[in-house]
């Protein structure tokens, strides 16, 4: 597997052609893209709904405050999730 290092100052955003939406059947959030649908778990939803120009550190700080979580562990989770979505071309970094 390719190791990707994501900078603290990277600004994740949805890739072109990808939409984040609530699935009205389940109430869960989904990513829609050409001929594909990904159902998001709560962690991914919380991360992606903040991918609007904020930097990685900002996203981690907010989540750590909201969930009273250890920010080092959380940063690793966020990086893993974003890296997985980047490899699937669902998000990009600016």
Q: Which residues bind other proteins (CB under 8 A)?
A: 2, 16-17, 19, 21, 23-25, 30, 32-35, 37, 87, 89
Strand, coil or helix: what is 93?
strand
Q: How far is the CB of 36 from other proteins (least distance, A)?
A: 8
Would you say 43 or 86 has its CB closer to other proteins? 86
User: Strands (DSSP E) along 16-86, which ranges?
Assistant: 19-22, 29-33, 36-39
Rounded Cα–Cα distance for residues 19 and 31 (Å): 6
Cα–Cα dist 93/56, whole Å? 10
Complex with other proteins: residue 32 or 57, whichever CB lies closer: 32
Question: Measured from the CB atom, is 41 or 87 closer to other proteins?
Answer: 87
């Amino acid at each position: 597997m390719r190791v990707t290092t994501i900078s603290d100052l990277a600004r994740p955003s949805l890739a072109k052609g990808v939409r984040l939406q609530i699935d009205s059947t389940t109430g869960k959030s989904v990513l829609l893209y050409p001929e594909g649908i990904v159902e998001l778990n709560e962690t991914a939803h919380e991360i992606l709904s903040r991918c609007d120009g904020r930097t990685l550190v900002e996203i981690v700080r907010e989540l750590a405050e909201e969930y009273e979580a250890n920010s080092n562990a959380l940063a690793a989770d966020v990086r893993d999730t974003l890296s997985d979505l980047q490899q699937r071309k669902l998000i990009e970094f600016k």
